[in-house]
Chains A and B, each alone.
Chain A
Amino acid sequence: MSKDLSAPLLRTARLLDLVPYLNSNQGISVQDLAKDFGVSTAQINSDLTTLWMCGLPGYTPLELMDLEFESGYVTIRNALTLSKPRNISFDEGLALMLGLELLQQQIPLERKDLQTKIELLKDRFANQIGVPRAVTVSLAINPAIISPLIEAINASKDVEIRYHSLYSDEISVRKIAPLAIIEEDENSYLRAYCRNAKALRVFRVDRILSLSELDVELNGADTSMDLIDTDDIESEKIPYTIKIKQPTRDLVERFNLDHLFGENPKSQELTVELSSFSREWIQRAVLATGSDVELLSPPELRKEIANRAQLLLDRYA
C-alpha cells in the first residue's frame, strides 16, 4: 500500500511511527533518527515540531506529548496513546515471513535451537499475517557455500575452493584468503587473496562449486583493488557490434538488452553496440545464438568466430 501514498499521508504515517520509536529509543540523536527513517535531519526536525503540537483533545500542556530536544538528542514523554507501534501491513508481513525462510536457509543445520525457533515463529505468524504457505523463497546462492564462507571471512581463515570459470569453462582448485563479499550488478562477488596466483582475485560466489576450510590464519593482504581484476576477464571492456536478425526474448536476456522489452520490436533487424570484459564470452555468446546474431565488429573476433564455426563443422562432417 504505502508505495503510492501522497506526501502528506507519508508524513502522517511517519509521525505516527515516530512516537513509538522515540518511546523505545529514548535519547536518540536527531541524526540517527533521520537515518533510521530514511529522511533528512531537517525533515525530522520539522516532523518533531509538528508532533509537539499534537496530543489528546483538551490540548492543555498536560494532554500534549512532551518532546525534549537536548543538544540534538530527543526524548518523549506522555505518549501513552501512541506508544505501541502500528500493526504491520500485508507487504511488511510478507517481508518478515519470507525473510524468516531465507534466514532459516543461512543458519547451519547444526543450530537446531535456532532452526526450531524460526519454525515456531513462522507458524505463529503465518495465520496472523495471512501470508499463504504457497509463497516460498530460497537463496540464490548455495547456503552450503555462503555460510562457511562468511564464517571464514570473520575468522580470517583460509579456505580451499573449487571454482568454475564460466568463460574459459575450467574448474580450478585454489587456496584463498577470503576478504569480503561485494554485491554488484545483481550478483555476489567474493574478494579474496589467492595463494596460488599470489594476487588479489574476485570470484563470483555462485560459481564456487565447493569449499573446505584450511587451518591457516590470514596474514594481512592488501584489500584495496578494483572489481575487474579477476581471472576470467580482461582489464578493459571490449566494444563490439552485433546485428540481430530477429529479436527474441533469449537474445534480449543473453545480451542484456532490457530496453527492448515492451517496445514491440517484432521482426525488425537491428544493430546494437555493446561491450564486454571478455573476448571469450563474446565469441561463445554469438555462437550460442545459432546464427540469430551476426558479429559486425571487431573484425578479428569476426574472423575467429568463422574459424570456430568451420572447425566445428569439420568435426560433424
Chain B
Amino acid sequence: MSRKIERLVNLTIALLATKRFLTKSEIFRTVEGYEGTPETKERMFERDKDDLRTLGIEISLGSFDPVFQDEAGYRINSDTYQLNLGLLSPLDLSLLSLAAQCWQGAALDQAAHRVLRKLRSIGIPANELDIPAIHSKLSTSGRDIEIISSAISESSLLSFDYISKDLGSHNRTVIPFALATHLGFWYVASVDQKNQEVRIFRLDRMIGHVEKSSPQKDFEAPKDFDFYQSLSKSQSNKMAVFDVQKGKGHLIRNLAASSKDLGEWDRLEIPIVSMDNLRSLALWHGDDVLVRAPEELVEMIKTSLQEILADHE
C-alpha cells in the first residue's frame, strides 16, 4: 500500500511542478512507481487520477501546442491546488483560527481540525487575542450540515426520512433554502415538493442518510421568509389565558404576549400554536399554574388529570 501512496504523492508533485502538460508516456517514464505492461500502467494511472480527484485535486487535461495537435497531457494547476485566501494579516489569521476552534467537539469538528492545520501551514504567525474561545455546543452530525449547505447553494433536491409526531418515519423530498440554529438545534427551511409549501425540519429528527440529487435551476427561494421569526415567535392570534404564581413558571413567562398583575398571581396571555404543548406546559407546572381559557384546553387538562389519577391510584 505504501508504494501506491508514494506514487500518488510523486504524481502530485510532478504534475504540480511542471510548467507544461506532461504526456502519459512522460509520466510513466519519469514518475516513480509505474511498472508492468502498458495496460497495467494505463489502469494504474486511471485509478490514480480518480483517487486524486476524490482528494479534491483537479488534474487538467490539455495539449502543449494546440496548433500541432500534440498528444494530450496532464498537469495540476497550482491556483486550484493551493490555498488562496488572499493577503492575511496576523490578526486575520488569529480570527480565522478562533473561528475554526469554535467547533471543537461540535458539529463541524473534523472539518474544523483540517482547516486549522491548513491555517497553521500558511506560515503567518497569529496574534495572541484575548478573546474567550468557547465551544458552540451545536452537535448533530456535521455531515448532514455539509450536504444540506451544498444543496442550498445549488438548489438541489434533498430527500430524507423524518420522524413524525407519532414516531413513524416518512420520506420527504424538499428543496432547502436556509439553514439556521435555534437554542442548540439545527433547522433547515425548505419547500416541500409534495405540496410546494414551506416546511421547517429539525436535523436531529432526520434518520438515516440525507440524499442530495439534481439541482433545480428554476427554483426561487421564498422572499418574505424570516427564519428567526418562524422559529422563535409563536405566530397566532388566538390566545390562551394562564394564571401563574409570582416568581414561578419562568418557561411560560417567556412565551407570554402580555402579562397583568393580579397580586400573588399574574395573568398571562399565551399565543396558541399547539394545544398539546400548552397542556403539557400547564401540567408540568402543577399548582403554580391555573389555565382559564380556552375552555377546550381546560377540558383537555381535566381529562388528562382524571386519566393520570385513574392510572396511578
Contacts and interface: CB of A to CB of B under 8 A. Distances in A.
B66 interface: no
A187 B153 contact: no
22 contacts: A17-B114, A54-B6, A81-B17, A84-B83, A88-B83, A88-B118, A94-B146, A96-B115, A103-B133, A124-B85, A132-B152, A135-B180, A138-B180, A150-B134, A188-B135, A248-B165, A249-B163, A250-B165, A261-B163, A261-B167, A290-B280, A306-B308
A170 B312 contact: no
Interface in B104-119: 105, 108, 110-115, 117-119
Interface of A: 1-3, 5, 7-9, 11-13, 15-17, 20-21, 23-25, 36-38, 46, 50-51, 53-59, 80-82, 84-96, 98-100, 102-103, 106-107, 114, 117-118, 121, 124-125, 128, 130-132, 134-141, 146-147, 150-151, 154, 164, 169-171, 181, 183, 186-188, 206, 209, 246-250, 252, 260-262, 264-266, 284-291, 294-295, 302-303, 305-306, 308-313, 315-316
A287 B85 CA distance: 56
B311 A294 contact: yes
Which 7 A-B pairs rank lowest in CB-CB distance, beginning with the nearest?
A: A99-B99, A140-B184, A57-B30, A291-B307, A150-B132, A290-B304, A20-B121
A287 B78 CA distance: 64
A309 B309 contact: yes
- Indicate the size class of the contact surface on chain B: 35 or more
Interface in B4-57: 4-6, 8-10, 12-14, 16-17, 30-32, 51, 54-57
Contact of A25 (B110, B120, B168, B284): B120
A50 B3 CA distance: 9
Interface of B: 1-2, 4-6, 8-10, 12-14, 16-17, 30-32, 51, 54-57, 78, 80-86, 91-92, 95-96, 98-103, 105, 108, 110-115, 117-123, 129, 131-139, 142-143, 145-146, 149-150, 152-153, 161, 163-169, 177-184, 205, 207-208, 221, 227, 247-250, 276, 279-281, 283-288, 290, 298, 300-302, 304-309, 311-313
